[in-house]
Amino acid sequence: MFYNGQTDLSSILSLLRSIQKFPVFSIFTKIPFFSKGRGVPAKRGIEVIWSLHRHENFLQFVSTILPHFSPIMLRFALICLVLIVCAGCGSTKWSDTSRTATEQLLISYAIDQTIAQINFSVLRGKKIFVKTDAIQTATDFKYLSMAIRQHIATSGGMLCDKEEDSEYIVELRTGAVGTDRNDLLYGIPAITIPSVAIDGATTGMGSTIPEIPFVKKTDQRAVCKMAVFVYHRETGRPLWCSGNRQSESRAKAWWVFGAGPFTKGSIYKGTEFDGGRIPQVIPGISNENDELPPLTVERYFTEPKPFVQFEVNSLDVPNPPVPPQRTIQYGGITIRR
C-alpha cells in the first residue's frame, strides 16, 4: 500500500471496498429490523465512500493531499471516518400527568374496598334512583358514583335514569376521599446556609446543602369514608341506611444508601424494585397481595327470559274422560260404582 512514504490510491480504495465486506457490516442485514429496506447507517456510509472514487474531482483531490499524510495519520483518519458514519442518536419524549398514577390507584382501591362492605341486597327487585348531589365535590366523583351504581345493579336493584320513574331514592355522602403521606429519613437532612450581612452589605449568597440519606422511607395512604341512605320517593319514609364504612390503601417505598425504591403495598403484587418484582426468598412466605375487592372481580350475568302469558279458551280444552260406571244388583238393590 505504501511505497517510500507515498500512499497508493488504488490500495486505499481497495481497503474501503474490503471494509464494506466485513462481517460486522453484513451481519446487520440479517436482523429483521434492518432487512426491511431501512438500511444500516454504517454500511450505507461505506458505500457512499466507495462510490466517491468514481468521480474525477474526488480522485484529483485525494491524489493531491495523500502524499502529505503519513501512513499512521491516514489510518487514524480512516478509522475516524468510519466511526462518524456509524454514529447516531435517539430521543424519546416523556410527559407526566397532573396526578400521579400511584395516587389514583390508591384512591380507587380504597373506594372499591369501601363500597364492597355495603350490602345492597335490601334493594333487590326495587326501582332505584341514585342521587349524587352530595358527593359531586369529592375526589374521583365519577368513579365513585359508577362503582355505587354497579354494586346496586349486581345486587338486584333496578336502576332508573329519572327520579320520577323510581320507587326509592339512594343518597350518598362521603366523609373523606383523599391521600396523605409520611416521610422518614435516617441521615443528614437538607440544610440551608443563609447569607451573611456585614456593615449593612450582604456578602455572598445563601446556599443549600442537599440531604444525605442512609435510609429513607415514604408511606402514602388513601382513605375513603362514605355512607348510604335509602328512602321512599313519594312518602319519604326511610327504608335502610348502611352506616359509616371506611377503608384505606397504602403504598410504601424505601431507599437504602441511595438504592431504590423498594415498593410494597395494597396496589402492588408483593415487593418490587425498579418496576420489577422481587422473587420470594423465604420458603412458605408469599409476598403476593391476593386481597381483591369483589367489585374488581370479573362476573357474568344472565339476562332473564321474558314472561309470556297465554290466554286459555275453555272451548279448546277437552273435557276430562269420565270413568266407566259399574252396576251391581244385590237383593233387589242396584249399586253403582
For residues 305-312, give the mean pLDDT.
57
Same domain? 183 vs 110: yes
Cell representation of residue 306? 321474558
Question: Which tens digits make up the pLDDT trace of 208-243?
Answer: 888 888 999 999 999 999 999 999 999 999 999 999
- 6 and 80 share one domain: yes
Q: Are residues 155 and 251 in the same domain?
A: yes
Q: Is residue 171 part of a domain?
A: yes
253-265 pLDDT tens trace: 999 988 888 999 9
pLDDT-derived band of residue 32, with 50, 70 and 90 as boundaries? Answer: very low
Whether residue 335 is contained in a domain is answered as no
Higher pLDDT, 32 or 252: 252
pLDDT above 80 for 305: no
Considering the domain architecture, whether residues 168 and 219 belong to the same structural domain is answered as: yes
d(CA 243, CA 62): 91
One domain for residues 187 and 264: yes
Q: Measuring CA to CA, which residue among 166, 171, 180, 112 is closest to residue 140?
A: 112
- Statement to judge: residues 120 and 46 lie in one domain: no
Which pLDDT band, with edges at 50, 70 and 90, does 24 fall under?
very low
Q: Which of 83-92, 273-282, 287-296 has the lowest mean pLDDT?
A: 287-296
For residue 98, count CB atoms less than 10 angstroms from its CB and return exposed for 0-12, middle for 13-18, buried for 19 or more.
Answer: exposed
pLDDT tens string 161-175: 999 999 999 999 999
Do 110 and 163 lie in one domain? The reply is yes
pLDDT, tens digit (0-9, with 9 covering 90-100), for 37-63: 444 444 555 555 555 545 555 555 555
pLDDT for residue 4: 46
* Reported confidence tier of residue 27, pLDDT bands at 50, 70, 90: very low
Low-confidence winner among 46-50, 67-71, 219-223, 273-277 (lowest mean pLDDT) = 46-50
Is residue 82 domain-shared with residue 105, that is, in the same domain? Answer: no
In the chain, pLDDT over 90 holds for what percent of residues? 39
Last residue of a domain, one of 86, 112, 131: 86
Count of C-beta atoms within a 10 Å radius of residue 59: 14
327 belongs to a structural domain = no
Rounded mean pLDDT of 203-207?
66
- Residues 111, 40 share a domain: no
pLDDT of residue 195 exceeding 50: yes
Predicted pLDDT at 31? 45
In a domain? residue 262: yes
Within a domain: residue 137? yes
Q: Residue 13 falls within a domain, yes or no?
A: yes
Determine the pLDDT at residue 188.
87
pLDDT for 192 beyond 80: yes
Instruction: Count Cα atoms within 13 angstroms, Cβ side, for 159.
Output: 14
> Do 166 and 53 share a domain, yes or no?
no
Overall pTM surpassing 0.85 (yes/no):
no
Strand partners, 170: 130, 230
Q: How far apart are CA 11 and CA 307, in angstroms?
A: 95
The mean of the pLDDT values for the chain is 75
Q: Is 229 helix (H, G, I), strand (E, B) or coil?
A: strand
Confidence category of residue 12, pLDDT binned at 50, 70, 90: low
Confidence of residue 325 (pLDDT cuts 50, 70, 90): low
Residue 153 has pLDDT above 60, yes or no: yes
Q: Please tell me the predicted confidence (pLDDT) of residue 70.
A: 61
The pLDDT of residue 72 is 67
Domain span holding position 127? 101-195+205-280+288-296
Number of domains in the chain: 2
31 and 170 in one domain? no
Residues of the chain by 3-state class (helix, strand, coil), percent to 5 = 30, 30, 40
- Is there a domain that residue 309 lies in? no
Please tell me which residue, 86 or 235, carries the higher pLDDT value: 235
Indicate if 73 and 129 belong to the same structural domain: no
141 pLDDT band, cuts 50/70/90, is very high
23 within a domain of the structure (yes/no): yes
* 328 band by pLDDT with thresholds 50, 70 and 90: low
| Predicted confidence band of residue 79 (pLDDT cuts 50, 70, 90) | confident
> CA–CA separation, 330 vs 337, rounded Å?
13
Q: Strand 127-131 to strand 158-159: parallel, antiparallel, or no bridges (unpaired)? A: parallel
Q: To 5 degrees, how large is the angle CA 147–CA 151–CA 157?
A: 130
